[in-house]
Structure 1
Amino acid sequence: MIFRLLIIVLIVLLFSGCKKGETPSSPGNKPPIVDTSAVTIQIDASHAYQLIYGFGGADIVEWTGDLTPDQRIKAFSPETGIGLSILRLRVPVDSSRFAEAKATVDACKSYGGIAIATVWSAPAWMKTNNSTVGGKLKPSAYGAFAAYLRAFNQAIGGLTAISPTNEPNIQVDYESMQMTASDVADFVAAEGDSCGAPIMAPEPYNMDQTFINAYLNNSDAKAKTKFICGHIYGATPYPLSVDKPVWMTEHFTNSNVSGDDWSNAMQAAKEINDCMNAGWGAYVWWYIRRSYGPIGENGQIQKIGYVMAHYARYVRPGYVRIDCTANPESNIYATAYTNSAKIVVVVINQRHDDIYQRFTLNGAQVTKLIHYYTNASSNFVADSSAVNSQFGIVLPALSVNTIILSHL
């Protein structure tokens, strides 16, 4: 009897400690406490920057084998895949291999993408050292080399841009041409309008501004160059002082780390963010399918791929970057884009805690928000809500977030 009375007393005490409408709770079902960013991200759709040509990767058939039909869908579909919209190719030194990647080119184009190509080496007989490693293009071979590029462009089904040299400013022990900025410019000045596709150049290692400036000092080469391109190995993205679109056409973060490693993928996300904020119009990863790439050797999309998809699926060719608070506080990074019908905001949270981030929008009216996030354990978790010009969302810890704003 005494024991039963004690039980009754304990139950009464437990419920008397709860306010009306409450039930006893455990730490697991208490509402989370989320920090709020002290700085609002301000988006101004009326203030436009660069045109976005896309996000992509390389398919070098002779070196890694071609993408399979299933991998092409995973690479290029903006609905079920990564949504890559730029395919980078190598111009083979053997013309019999010109059309090897055409099925992949056609797949990329079928999803609204483009193909570009880079020369690692001209055929050996066109070069000063009669080798595909090192040396430079002979001036006497300029016409033949231009004809070679035209033939490749035709065989592959048409390119948006072609580069006559890959990283000409460094010496390597693989297929290459070691050329000065003046060497590259001399060829483009002479034959740049005869290569079958618009010229992108000079494609230096480390996006060397000095090399680029020296190339552009040739006024004829400058006039025949549509895009300035380069790689960011050993460099941090920065605004280039050129009056042409700038493309980052090759980089990878770490070939010794899996493409499924989340900390490495977060590094790639920050790199894309920085390239866009530098005013560049394209970001192209190295191999599409590789252990450290967007798609693994098993054919599955990896974390690098999901990070790229946060940009590539939604920031399609023809979008423009618009004004956006780039770094509202430590370890929060943002860019914004529009095609007039929609506004896309990509926000990276490198903090180790969730944060409630406020936004304000000027220059456009929106009524609907869709939010996707990816973190170490989840890919493209989605939620949606009605919004107006002021809104807020929770950015999960260590996550990449895409916010799509539209007016319906």
Structure 2
Amino acid sequence: MKGYSIILGLLALTACSDNTPENPEDGGDSGEIVSVEKRVTIDAGQTFQKMVGFGASDCWTPAYIGKYWTSGRDRISELLFSSEIVDGQPKGIGLSMWRVNLGGGSTEQGDESGIVDKSRRAESYLTDNLSLDWTHCEGQRYFMSRAKEFGVNNYVLFSNTPPVQYTLNGKGFSQNGGSANLKADCYDDFAAYMAEVAKHYVDEGFSVSHISPVNEPQYNWDGNGQEGSGWKNEEIAKLARELDSQLTQKGLSTNILLGESGDWEYLYKVKDDANRSNVLSAFFSTSSSAYVGDLSHVKNLICGHSYWTDGTWDGMREVRKKVAEAATQYGVEVWQSEWSMLGDNYSSSEFVGYDAASEMDIALYMSKVIHNDLTVANVTSWNYWVAMDVSRWGQKNRFLLISLTPKGWAGDKESVDNLEEEGSFNATATLWVLGNYSRFIRPDYQRISATLNESMSFFGSAWISPQQDCIVAVYTNLSSKGVRLNETRQNWPGELKSIKTYTTSANKQLVEKVLETEDSVVLDAESVTTVVYELK
């Protein structure tokens, strides 16, 4: 990347070229023999994007967990939102954003909703007489409140479908192909509803930064699996204009978050359907009929999902490079608003495959995606898909951070129909690896230059606090050998006060280690490690 420091004599990735003496004591707690040394230069004088935050969404099961799992819900919310470290162990991963689903009301419809899986239906505040009932969504409101208690001050309200009272087919899923499942005379009603919900939360003390009115509009959402609707770019623009007017009328500073594209490529090129792709050009080119860049509540911001473009290291970097180039062209900031390991196109040379993979394999792969989204696409927000769910279909931790097992759960069923029965839960490796980023790269931390001999098996990024009293580096070492860092520190704004590392591996969950300031940082094999440098 332009402006990076030049390091002469970067060591090759092989152990023989590193020529580091083998010393079992250098392996730290892992017991690994460190035979590889890696040089890295962290230059605080070269800066890039500032981070807004890391988050996850409350689809779908939190509606049940927050309401019915009264014994476990406090600990679950602590795992997600707590930044506290006690006796060297983080209590949670310190999410700084929370995405709240504005459901369409299929829960209230019950089986008449047509959505087979009860756990994929969602509540709405809108009633059949078109009044608002704020006692609805109890479980979701619990997690919002707990997030607030832990200091989260960035809430994004997102919608998969308009309320069923406003849809063409009276359902939360669509039968309208690539067009919006919204009655022609209900654009203003839908916008007013979203703005009113935002105002309600703001009045209750929640910082609602954005409303995201549509989700993955490139898909038709015509199945009975969950709520959803397709949208054309011009339909989204029409809705955005109505929502902008409603937010202004209600005196809200909440902004409109557009995009939520099914994958990154829909943002910058024509793909599949021209009316539903090339989104940046559609919304931010003044010559476009869908132009909304002049709306007071639409800032220079777009978001997309990291699905389907993550199958190989080189492939994901090439796509994200194009995202960054397109964002620069239109002068917009980029958020990554959804990822889980959804795809089936992963290279067999880079991923062992779902059948052979451990949960840690999947978590380590996620670190590749996070790193490239941060350092190549230059995103300023990164969000996992669902915070919690029931693991089924042999998915391991592919789609969730916290795995739920309701009482009496029988395994791989099409529908989870007993979420009211509190059971057990498990914090997955994916949760803790995300925590290597979310707990330590806090809002307004700025990325700084980190130069290293990067590859798909060894990579990292560095960040500085707004007060310039802390530098954080996150490294992923996918090799079977430990790594000792040979560090060069340039333009650091203070002297080094302390060094701590936090390691996640197959047998560690953000385990803290305190180093002397003259010690070398050692990374375990097959791990993600956050290095925290306190400055004075």
Q: Same fold (TM over 0.5)?
A: yes
How far apart are residue 348 of structure 1 and its match? 0.2
1:150-189 paired onto structure 2 within 5 Å: 150-156=195-201, 157=204, 158=206, 159-172=208-221, 173=223, 174-189=226-241
Amino acid at match of 1:85: S
Q: How far has the Cα of 1:99 moved from its partner?
A: 5.6
Q: Tell me which of 216, 220, 225 is aligned to 2:292.
A: 220
* Structure 1 residues 133 and 345: alpha-carbon distance in aligned structure 2, compared to 1, 3 A threshold: same
1:261 maps to which of 330, 341, 359: 359
2:94 aligned counterpart, secondary structure: coil
1:112 equivalent to 2:112? Answer: no
Q: State the partner residue of 1:148.
A: 193
Shift of 1:382: 2.5
Equivalent residue, structure 1, for 2:402: 295
* Aligned sequence identity (%): 22
Q: In the alignment, is the contact (CA less than 8 A) between 1:98 and 1:155 conserved in 2? A: no
Task: Give me the whole-angstrom Cα distance separating, in 1, the residues matched to 2:41 and 2:386.
Answer: 35
Task: Report the CA distance between 1:309 and its aligned residue.
Answer: 0.9
Q: CA deviation at 1:170?
A: 0.9
Can you list the C-alpha shifts for 1:54-111, whole angstroms capped at 9, x where unaligned?
1121113567623412211111001211211221111022324356422211221222
Which residue number corresponds to residue 510 of structure 2? Answer: 380
The CA distance in 1 between the partners of 2:444 and 2:199, in whole Å, is 25
Evaluate the alpha carbon distance shift between residue 193 and residue 44 of structure 1 in structure 2; reply closer, same or farther with a 3 A threshold. farther
Counterparts of 1:37 and 1:215 in 2: how far apart (Å)? 48
**SS of equivalent to 1:380:** strand
TM-score (normalizing by structure 1): 0.84
Q: Give the superposition deviation at 1:182.
A: 2.0
The count of corresponding residues between Structure 1 and Structure 2 is: 379
Cα offset, 1:369, TM superposition: 1.1
| Separation of aligned partners in 2, 1:230 and 1:107 | 27
Q: Which amino acid aligns with 2:35?
A: D
Match of 1:313 in 2: 439
Shift of 1:283: 1.4
Alpha-carbon distance between aligned partners in 1 of 2:403 and 2:454, rounded to the nearest angstrom: 34
* Per-residue deviation, 1:112: 2.5
State the 1:257 CA deviation: 7.9
TM-align CA RMSD: 2.7
CA distance in 1, matches of 2:357, 2:440: 21
1:150/1:28 CA distance change after superposition, 3 Å: closer
Q: 1:326 to 1:123 in 2, by over 3 A?
A: farther
Gap runs ≥5 in structure 1: 1-26
CA distance in 2, matches of 1:244, 1:326: 28
Q: CA deviation at 1:184?
A: 0.8
1:244 aligns with 2:327: no
Q: CA deviation at 1:288?
A: 0.9
CA contact (8 A) 1:257 1:264 kept: no
CA contact (8 A) 1:54 1:312 kept: yes
Q: Give the 3-state SS of the residue equivalent to 2:403 in structure 1.
A: coil
> 1:150: how far off?
1.6
- Alignment pair present for 1:36 and 2:36: yes
Question: Which amino acid in the other structure matches residue 35 of structure 1?
Answer: S
Q: Does 1:334 align with 2:391?
A: no
**Cα distance 1:153–1:191, how it changes in 2: closer, same or farther (>3 A)?**
closer
Q: What is the CA-CA distance between 1:314 and the residue it aligns to?
A: 1.0
CA contact 1:192–1:221 (8 Å) conserved in 2: no
Paired residues of 1:369 and 1:404 also in contact (CA < 8 A): yes
Provide the rounded CA distance (Å) in 2 between the counterparts of 1:101 and 1:258: 35
Letter of the structure 1 residue corresponding to residue 99 of structure 2: R
Aligned match of 2:93 in 63, 77, 82? 82
Q: CA separation of 1:33/1:125 partners in 2, compared to 1, >3 Å: closer, same or farther?
A: closer
Counterpart of 2:298 in structure 1: which amino acid?
T
The separation in 1 between residues aligned to 2:166 and 2:401, in whole angstroms, is 36
Q: Which amino acid is the alignment partner of residue 403 of structure 1?
A: V
Q: 1:270 aligns with which of 368, 380, 387?
A: 368
- CA-to-partner distance for each residue in 1:300-327, whole Å, 9 max, x for gaps? 3211111011111111112111121265
- Higher mean alpha-carbon deviation, 306-315 vs 59-68, is at 59-68
| Distance in 2 of aligned mates of 1:148 and 1:29 | 62
Asked if 2 retains the 8 angstrom alpha-carbon contact of 1:326 and 1:335, the reply is no
1:126 maps to which residue?
Answer: 166
CA contact (8 A) 1:260 1:304 kept: no
d(CA) in 2 for partners of 1:46, 1:186? 44
- Name the counterpart of 2:412: none
1:17 corresponds to: none
1:363 aligned partner: 491
Cα deviation, 1:303-357, whole Å, max 9, x if unaligned, reads 1111011111111112111121265355111011111121100000011111212
Tell me how far apart the structure 1 counterparts of residues 143 and 245 of structure 2 sit (CA, whole Å).
Answer: 26
TM-score scaled to structure 2, two decimals?
Answer: 0.65
Task: Quote the offset at 1:259 in angstroms.
Answer: 11
User: Deviations 1:12-50 (Å, cap 9, x if unpaired)?
Assistant: xxxxxxxxxxxxxxx988987522335x21112122211
Displacement, 1:132?
2.3
SS in 2 for 1:252: coil
User: Distance in 2 between the 1:244 and 1:51 partners?
Assistant: 14
